[in-house]
Amino acid sequence: MKFYKTEIPGVFIIEPKKFGDSRGYFFESYNEKEFHDNGIKNKFIQDNQSFSRYGTIRGLHFQTDTNAQAKLVRAVQGQVLDVTVDLRPKSPTFGKHVSVLLDDEANNMLFIPRGFAHGFSVQSETAVFAYKCDNFYNTFSEGGIIYNDPDLKIDWKIPADKIVISSKDSFWPTLTKWMGKNSR
């Protein structure tokens, strides 16, 4: 595997070594030793998977406090634009985001440490998306930032009239409002 640092420390793009022949291909999607050798020592304890259609935006989601989650994400089928936003208040990259195109041909992945919001938009007709998490989901610790927060300036690469979003995701606060609410 190749591990590439991004402009936000702790966030990595990971490309597996893919072995192909006339039957198809094989690759390791996770190898604890290689992750540890690259400074990622999280123990993954929950796997999630979603199916979505073109134009869907899921996010920006996170878990708070002791329920925060690091994630290793990838597109099993199709293509997504994956986005992660730094929510760590003391970080020099607070409020900055990384966007990475993940697809089923490159089989690339994104590692997102704890303290980040995460979301993705579906760029292909459909997509199956997999998440490895290092903490269990807790409904009482769930949080979110509105996907179209004007201060974040995220380009989801979906025309406005094609965006599909859940009612819950359409009511998250902006980052500024979330920070104001949580600074009390």
Do the domain assignments include residue 20?
no
Domain extent, residue 146, equals 43-182
Indicate whether 74 pLDDT > 60: yes
The CATH number that applies at residue 133 is 2.60.120.10
Mean pLDDT calculated for residue range 37-53: 97
pTM over 0.85: yes
| Banded pLDDT at 183 (limits 50, 70, 90) | low
Using alpha carbons only, what angle is made at residue 10 by residues 133 and 53, rounded to the nearest 5 degrees? 50
Is 61 annotated in the active site? yes
Number of other CB atoms surrounding residue 178 within 10 Å: 19
| H/E element, 17 | none
Mean pLDDT of the chain: 96
Do the domain assignments include residue 165?
yes
Do the domain assignments include residue 127?
yes
Do the domain assignments include residue 176?
yes
Do the domain assignments include residue 3?
no
Quote the radius of gyration of the chain (alpha carbons, Å): 16
Mean pLDDT calculated for residue range 9-36: 94
Do the domain assignments include residue 114?
yes
Do the domain assignments include residue 38?
no
| Banded pLDDT at 184 (limits 50, 70, 90) | very low
- Angstrom distance (rounded) from CA 170 to CA 37: 39
- Angstrom distance (rounded) from CA 158 to CA 163: 6
pLDDT the model gives residue 181: 74
Handedness of CA 109, 12, 44, 1 (dihedral sign): positive
**Which of the following is catalytic: 36, 131, 137, 147?**
131
**Which of the following is catalytic: 30, 61, 137, 147?**
61
Do the domain assignments include residue 12?
no
Number of domains in the chain: 1
Amino acid at residue number 83: V
Residue 182 vs residue 142, higher pLDDT = 142
164 SS3 class: strand
On the CB side of 86, CA atoms within 13 Å amount to 17
E strand residue ranges, the chain: 2-5, 12-15, 18-21, 24-27, 46-53, 57-63, 71-77, 79-86, 97-103, 109-112, 116-122, 126-133, 142-144
Residue 29 DSSP symbol: S
